[in-house]
Amino acid sequence: ADVIMVVKYDTVNQEVGVISIPRDTLVDPNDIAWFPKINSSYGGDITNLKAIIVDMLGIPIDFFVTVDVEGFVELIDSIGGVDFNVPIHMSYDDPLQGLSIHYEPGLQHLTGQQALEVCRLRYNQDGTLAYPDYDIGRTNTQRDLLLAVAQKVLKHPEKIASYIEIWLKYVTTNLSFSNILWFAESALDLDISTGVKTTALPGNGNVTCNGIGYCYQLYPDQVLEIVNDYVNPYQRELTPSDLNIYEVN
């Protein structure tokens, strides 16, 4: 659960709302043993993570999609790579993970593996945060890169067979095959440049809970506004009583 996003797709009006939930988002440690960060609720099973998000944001989650990182790499390679504006200086090496991440800011052509490296970077080799705003900058990069990939994918509908092959190989979901085809057909009419809006949930990333530092405590009022604006599926506005955001004293 390194990347967690909630998406609402209005196929009638061709509008998509995407909100990133930072991986260190503070949750009630009683919900997930003792560790108070949302990414620890996954553990290879979407059930607990889904339940926590539903309770926290006050909205239903109809479908889920989990993607193996190798599928992300293969998809980008299948479209010949992607042009992307790397936002920051990146310098990190980890021989144990086979990582060697070295990029300078600016537009460049990325292979699938390079795109994955850009998405994963949190810290530079000297131990400093790659992004000054904790994980928010990284989630912005992730969403921007995914949109760049989506734009190129939609420009090549003739590759639909290879997309489906990659999907079946690397994706776990409760979407039926007919669901997938219906959404894919609907997305052909989506203008990503104007029809998609993205953001991250705002909060304070310097909170300690149960002795665990750098927990990301959400700001309830701002989260409520974002949920209503981006992913609320109801005809009514959600209220503070609909959300359940855990905070430490």
Quick: pLDDT tens for 113-137.
Answer: 999 999 989 889 998 889 988 788 9
pLDDT grade for 33, boundaries at 50, 70 and 90: low
Average pLDDT, the chain: 92
Alpha-carbon dihedral 170, 65, 220, 140, rounded to 10 degrees: 40
In this predicted structure, the answer to whether residue 16 has a pLDDT above a threshold of 80 is yes
pTM: 0.89
The reported pLDDT for the residue numbered 4 is 95
* pLDDT tens-digit map of 146-181: 999 999 998 888 888 888 889 889 999 999 989 988
The 10 Å Cβ neighbour count of residue 158 is: 7
CA distances from 113 to 72, 138, 158 (A): 9, 17, 23
Percent of the chain past pLDDT 90, that is, above it, reads 73
In this predicted structure, the answer to whether residue 12 has a pLDDT above a threshold of 80 is yes
* pLDDT tens-digit map of 42-100: 887 899 999 999 999 999 999 999 999 999 999 999 999 999 999 999 999 988 877 88
